[in-house]
């Protein structure tokens, strides 16, 4: 299984970040997600393991710079287990685009989070159920354990 970590990482001055939406204005105001800062690092326990891949992004969707598509194509991947922060933004954008590109999207709902529970539930219960198979971490692990890999 190919594991890809997608990180929102910005260079000083935010040269590659779009300036068209209020969402991004908070980055500039707070000097958030700058390369090398604590906000751009994975939390303890979610660091990449040997063999894991990392894709950096500066937009809500993980697809924008093309690196994710290249990795998935080279890995002959047809299914994406999509989890992370900002359920209603990053996770949803990535899932929608992945579904549009023909990937099967699996969303372990309890491996996603956002600013508040209402936004999380709205995203999962309305938008994401239209593009993904919504499940739990426990059910996903149980299903993966039944797969026999040659």
**What is the predicted pLDDT for the residue at 4?**
96
Domain count, the chain: 2
For the chain, where are the E strands, in sequence order? 4-8, 53-57, 79-81, 84-85, 104-108, 112-113, 133-135
**What is the predicted pLDDT for the residue at 63?**
96
Residue ranges of the chain whose pLDDT lies below 70: 148-150
Domain that holds residue 143: 78-150
pTM comes to 0.90
Domain shared by 115 and 143, yes or no: yes
Bridge-based pairing state of the strands 53-57 and 4-8:
parallel
Domain shared by 71 and 2, yes or no: yes
Domain limit, last residue, from 42, 75, 108: 75
Domain shared by 57 and 83, yes or no: no
Domain limit, last residue, from 57, 75, 93: 75
Picking from 135, 32, 35, the residue whose alpha carbon sits closest to that of residue 83 is 135
**What is the predicted pLDDT for the residue at 150?**
61
């Amino acid at each position: 299984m190919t594991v890809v970590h997608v990180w929102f990482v910005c260079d000083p001055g935010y040269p590659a970040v779009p300036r068209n939406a209020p969402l991004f204005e908070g980055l500039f105001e707070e000097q958030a997600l700058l390369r090398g800062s604590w906000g751009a690092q994975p939390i303890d326990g979610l660091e990449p393991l040997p063999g894991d891949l990392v894709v950096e992004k500066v937009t809500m969707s993980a697809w924008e710079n093309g690196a994710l598509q290249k990795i998935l194509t080279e890995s002959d991947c047809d299914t994406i287990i999509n989890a992370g922060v900002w359920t209603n933004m990053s996770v949803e954008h990535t899932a929608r685009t992945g579904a549009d590109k023909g990937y099967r999207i699996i969303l372990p709902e309890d491996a996603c989070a956002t600013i508040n529970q209402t936004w999380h539930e709205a995203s999962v219960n309305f938008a994401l159920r239209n593009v993904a198979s919504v499940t739990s971490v426990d059910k996903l692990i149980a299903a993966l354990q039944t797969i026999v890999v040659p």
